[in-house]
Amino acid sequence: MKFTRVFAFMALAGLAGSAYATNGYFSHGYGMKAKGMGGAATAMSDDAFGGANNPASMAFVGNRLDLGADLFSPRREASRTGLGPFDGSVDSDSKYFIVPEFGYNHMYAPDLALGVTVYGNGGMNSNYAPGQTDLGICAGGAANGQPGNLLCGQGKLGVDLMQLIVAPTAAYKIAPNHSIGISPLIGYQRFKAEGLHAFAGASSDSANLTNRGYDDSFGYGVRIGYMGKISPTVTIGAAYASKMKFDEFSKYKGLFAEQGGFDIPENYNLGVAWQATPLFLVALDYQRINYSGVNSINNPSANAFIPAPLGADNGPGFGWQDIDVWKLGVEYKYSQQLTLRAGYNHGDNPIQASDVTFNILAPGVVKDHATLGLTYTLASGNELTVAYMHAFKNDVTGTSILPAFSGNPPSGTEKIQMYQNSLGIQYSWKM
């Protein structure tokens, strides 16, 4: 019966959309216990989400199944001033998303664990209604009353990117208090873009630039990890995930650099957990996400005027920079049944002022997150975990490059901003 629930949940995870854009477009954490502690999990072994955090942790987890889902609510806004008829302000219409995840772990021997983690790695989503511009003026003529979107395209403007990863995991204790682990990463992506008609003249393949519906691709990579309990109160951990190479989005080979390429960048994390007292624990993680290794994410949007058309190997991208992320979490055992958590997550903003125009589509500008969480242990020994996250509003302002697509110098001012909330729940069976 439990395995039936697992496979049903896997199907749900595969169909659910992911709209995370917290640490860049990665989630601030994986697993509700980590999410309640600001995402700190590299040196923790409380659940079966090691495939997303640190594969080595699964050697200390025991037999368990964790099913969870987040209600995620990002609030995004974009505006332009100083360009007369091209000025406008608009909020994204998509405001609520369900993001499921699950983990399973089984100890096949006292020193060997095998399991699987399925999770939404992250994503980008925006959905702006038209009406900010006039398509006649956008085309260089007189107003014709046909509403255009903020980037002078037809109809709705936005993108929808979902990334799902299945991470089968093996962990082995090389000594009683030290383990290593590996998770082959099997990835699935789904993407669509709408309302980018104004960029047709800057595309290497305008027929595969926008409004082509959903396209999907599959990819692969690997995550490896180490965990060591170096004293009765101190645990350390480290994990590295390679760049995940994906098939190209053929329907959008005129949008993304490298003819539709969109890989998941390499990333690594280091962590330490200190059991300060029998009731109180502190965990600290450092994470590095190397967006610079993916041209479609890292290439500056100014590449469109080198010239290097959209879709070319060196074509324009979102201009995202590598980021450092710090995750601090605390855990307090209030009673035998109730554990309380809190955390703070600070990451760099990957978006530069010079790339604001392209990032109207993907305004991943938030930097600071506060989290709360709790776990209640039932009489059966199973657990109910809840986690809340608030990402504080942040914005980036820069000069619009929209006029440059008509041969005019960049001018006017654009602003993108976002804040977020999420509330998640997880049920865990101990077996």
Q: Render pLDDT for 264-303 as a digit per residue (tens, 0 to 9).
A: 999 999 999 999 999 999 999 999 999 999 999 999 988 7
* pLDDT computed for residue 58 by the predictor: 98
pLDDT of 5 above 90: no
pLDDT tens figures, 145-192: 999 999 999 999 999 999 999 999 999 999 999 999 999 999 999 999
* pLDDT computed for residue 12 by the predictor: 46
Residue 11: pLDDT band with limits 50, 70, 90: very low
Residue 15: pLDDT band with limits 50, 70, 90: very low
* pLDDT computed for residue 406 by the predictor: 77
* pLDDT computed for residue 331 by the predictor: 98
> Residues 199-206: what's their mean pLDDT?
92
Pick the range with the lowest mean pLDDT from 46-50, 75-79, 224-228, 301-305: 301-305
> Residues 383-396: what's their mean pLDDT?
98
> Mean pLDDT over all residues of the chain?
93
* pLDDT computed for residue 302 by the predictor: 80
Three-state secondary structure string covering the chain: CHHHHHHHHHHHHHHCCCCCCCECCECCCCCHHHHCCCCCCCCCCCCCCCCCCCHHHHHHCCCEEEEEEEEEEEEEEEEEECCHHHCEEEEECCCCEEEEEEEEEEEEECCEEEEEEEEEEEEEECCECCCCEEHHHHCCCCCCCCEECCCCCECCEEEEEEEEEEEEEEEEEEECCEEEEEEEEEEEEEEEEECCHHHHHHECCHHHCCCCCCEEEEEEEEEEEEEEECCCCEEEEEEEECCEEECCCHHHCCCCHHHHCCCECCEEEEEEEEECCCCEEEEEEEEEECHHHCHHHHCCHHHHHCCCCECCCCCCCCCCCCEEEEEEEEEEECCCCEEEEEEEEEECCCCCHHHCCHHHCCCCCCCEEEEEEEEEECCCCCEEEEEEEEEEEEEEEEECCHHHHHCCCCCCEEEEEEEEEEEEEEEEEEC
pLDDT of 6 above 90: no
Global pTM reads 0.94
pLDDT of 100 above 90: yes
